[in-house]
Amino acid sequence: MKKIEAIIKPFKLDDLKVALHEVGVHGMTVTEVKGFGRQKGHKEIYRGAEYVVDFIPKVKIEIVCEADRVAQITETIMKTVKTGKIGDGKIFVMPVESICRIRTGEKDKDAI
Amino acid sequence: MKKTIIPFFVIAAAIFVVGLAGPVFAADAPVPNKGDTSWMIVATVLVSLMTIPGLALFYGGLVRTKNMLSLLMQVFTVFSLCMVLWVIYGYSLAFTEGNAFFGGLSKIFLKGITVDSVAATFSKGVVIPELIYVFFQATFAAITPALILGAFAERMKFSAVLAFIALWFTFAYLPIAHMVWYWAGPDAYTDAEAGAKAAATAGFLFQKGAIDFAGGTVVHINAAIAGLIGAFMAGKRVGYGKESMAPHSLTMTMIGASLLWVGWFGFNAGSNLEATGLAALAFGNTMTATAAAALSWLFLEWGIKGKPSMLGAASGAVAGLVAITPACGFVGIGGALVMGLLAGALCLWGVNGLKRLLGADDALDVFGVHGVGGILGALLTGVFANPALGGVGVYDYVANSVAEYSTSAQVISQLWGIGTTLIWSGIVSVIAYKVVDLVIGLRVTEEEERQGLDTSSHGESAYKY
């Protein structure tokens, strides 16, 4: 089992949700985050004080799936959120040790 | 019988007629009229709104989220504190006859003031109920100390704030209000001799000829110097220059600025003490100068920094309001326009270049806006009050006409007002801050400051999310 973490531009979230649904992903966790990579921040000026704001708002989505689904899901994510401009984001895939559905007690593959 | 009855009726009729005509013949004391009284009540309400919630939100929005509630608390509590002190001894010490610097204690606890007591206006034979004059002036006495709070925001102990304000109110606000605004009233100026005697009882700066319609010196310069000194003596905020201290809600600041603008019509036009054309002029000057200043700050900022900002527009507006305050009942609309344009520009420098020069952490730019704007306004009042420049001039209550205008003489009088206020308020502030620091301590601990005053001083959060 694998966990896919994708940092994406916030306005792409709705499109991504729909696209993932179409490939059979019916659950995800979404967090609002800030960060930067190569995308530059902006400057804010309040009277005499100037601030450089490095961090840019992003959205992180986390999906847990079976290992053989990873390629299709990451493919879908990339196709849907890519704009071609700096700041499109990154996808991380990591292994998951175990899963448990709290309500029923189902484990691992049955809990996905 | 007939011989006595007719004369009796003639005399009775004569007495009856004279009795009816009594108010015309008898030198009866003037009574307030309902128009002036209504206006003054409304004006007092408007000025109250300027502080609560106007100033509270204007300042609150400018600080970080963790300190929002502390500003709301400090403004709200200072307003309440000054109201109580005003009623107990403030009014008496400011607005009764004493010496040139302080009034007396004859009206302590508003002793002797009844619903029928009257206060003079700026017109002979026209009065308003003294009670509303008391409370109109009270709102000024309350907002002035509240202005100071912005300078040392985000780091002062609440107890130190209250102690300092009580001291400063007593030894700086009251005497300066007395010096600038206390006089015997126009009805005392019946002839040259009576006028000279009356003038000798007036406040020190009134006698120097300084004119200040609604409080450029009494309120703005006074609070500004106290704030600047407080910023120096409290020291810079932890992390100043390194960490972000950006405003957490310019939405709140805009709401506050708008309440200040609208409430200021009560502050300025209400300072006329009657509902006349002069009140309307004060209103118009206030509107014009403020709008002009908002634009001049905005456009300058746009040109220099690249983007026009909401904070710039709001600050510009306040700068215009400050500058027109001493001038509103003396200058013409053209003068107000010029003063507004200049105030926006000069105060933009005040919060940038001057602020860097002074080197204090005047957190919410109290000196940059109220100090610079107040000094500019006080000086230009001396220039634009000139009838030759569209002003109203200065009235001579002995000659009952507008006096001949000398710009140089008037500007010198204005300088007396500015200088005296800066020095008197400055010295009182230094002593008061020092005393409070020694007895209570001015600042919270570094930990409390990092946590935020809302939770550390007040056990509350402004927002829950």
- Whether residues A47 and B312 touch (CB distance < 8 A) is answered with yes
The CATH number of residue A88's host domain is 3.30.70.120
A53 vs chain B: nearest CA distance in angstroms? 9
- Give me chain A's average pLDDT, please: 95
Inter-chain contact A47–B305, Cβ cutoff 8 Å?
no
- Nearest CA of chain A to the CA of B319: how many Å? 13
Residue B21 has pLDDT above 50, yes or no: no
pLDDT in the model for residue B28: 77
Nearest to B351 among A44, A48, A51 (CB): A48
Where exactly are the structural domains of chain B? Answer: 33-458
Chain B nearest C-alpha distance from A32 (Å): 14
Higher pLDDT, B462 or B13: B462
pLDDT of residue B287: 98
Segment B242-300, tens digit of pLDDT:
999 999 999 999 999 999 999 999 999 999 999 999 999 999 999 999 999 999 999 99
Q: Report the mean per-residue pLDDT for chain B.
A: 95
Mutate which: B351, B361, B465, vs A, most A CBs within 10 A: B351
pLDDT tens across B107-150, in order? 999 999 999 999 999 999 999 999 999 999 999 999 999 999 99
CB contact under 8 A, B352 and A44: no
Domain that holds residue A6: 2-111
- B22 pLDDT exceeds 50? no
Whether the pLDDT of residue B323 is over 60: the answer is: yes
Residue B23 pLDDT > 60, yes or no? no
pLDDT of residue B300: 97
What is the structure's pLDDT at B24?
A: 46
Structural domains counted in chain A = 1
Q: How far is B311 from chain A (nearest CA, A)?
A: 7
A chain contacts of residue B252, beta-carbon cutoff 8 Å: none
ipTM of the complex: 0.79
Backbone angles phi, psi at A60, to 5 degrees: -105, 130
Query: pLDDT (tens digit, 9 = 90+) per residue, B146-187?
Result: 999 999 999 999 999 999 999 999 999 999 999 999 999 999
State which fold the B33-458 domain adopts: Ammonium transporter fold (1.10.3430)
Q: In chain B, whose CA is at the least distance from the CA of A52? A: B244
Question: pLDDT tens across A38-78, in order?
Answer: 888 889 999 989 998 889 999 999 999 999 999 999 999 99
State whether A47 and B244 contact (CB < 8 Å). no
